[in-house]
Amino acid sequence: MQMRQMLIPMKMKNNLHRNHPLKHPDQRVGVFIDVQNMYYSAKNLFGKKVNFGNIVKEAVAGRKLIRAIAYVVRTESKEEQPFFEALYNLGIETHEKDLQIFNTGMKKADWDVGLAVDAIRLSPSLDAIVIVSGDGDYLPLVDYLQSMGKQVEVVAFGETASGKMKEEADDFIDLSEDKSKFLIGDGMLGGRRNVKR
């Protein structure tokens, strides 16, 4: 059976996520969400917002959720606070960081290192680690976690996901395959009515 799995082409293997042979009900799962990456992918590709509740549900796939963490950025206006509360009400922790504004006017909000450190720190209590981002900067994290014997899965929009991330992950879920499930059409970012269960 293992030999047969190895013969399944990668593209076909990635589309089997709903009945993936490596996903077991007793697996302990951690979901790590790069909110900025997902927000801008959905906005630029489809002009819509992201349904994070449905994404977490899909990522967990009936297994035991240990932690779901969304990495978010605070602005001075605090207008994103209802979004943070909506995530919390869905059972998604938020790790918050202030938006950095430099003298040049450039803005930076990067959570790559924080997400990677948390995934490594929590990995001893997890069997499967789900990275919700297609950012190729996470490739060293994927490789490291796999070398530690962890199953690493990636959830992202296929059009903006790194090709290497798709290849290296033990499973890749392309959110673009079911836009009605993972996107929200209108409303302000993250208002309670927008982040659906």
pLDDT score of 19: 62
Distance of CA 68 to the CA centre of its chain: 9
**What is the residue extent of each domain of the chain?**
33-184
**DSSP bridge partners of 29:** 65, 128
pLDDT score of 75: 75
pLDDT score of 107: 62
Q: What single-letter DSSP state applies at residue 103?
A: T
Quick one: fold of 33-184? Answer: Rossmann fold (3.40.50)
Mean pLDDT of 173-197: 68
pLDDT score of 108: 62
- pTM higher than the cut 0.85: no
| Contacts of 78-85 spanning 24+ positions with Cβ under 8 A | 80/189, 80/190, 82/188, 82/190, 82/191, 82/192, 83/189, 83/190, 83/191, 83/195, 84/190, 85/192
Mean pLDDT of 23-48: 93
- Give tens-digit pLDDT for 55-103: 999 999 999 999 999 999 887 767 778 888 999 999 999 998 877 666 6
| DSSP H or E run through 180 | helix 179-182
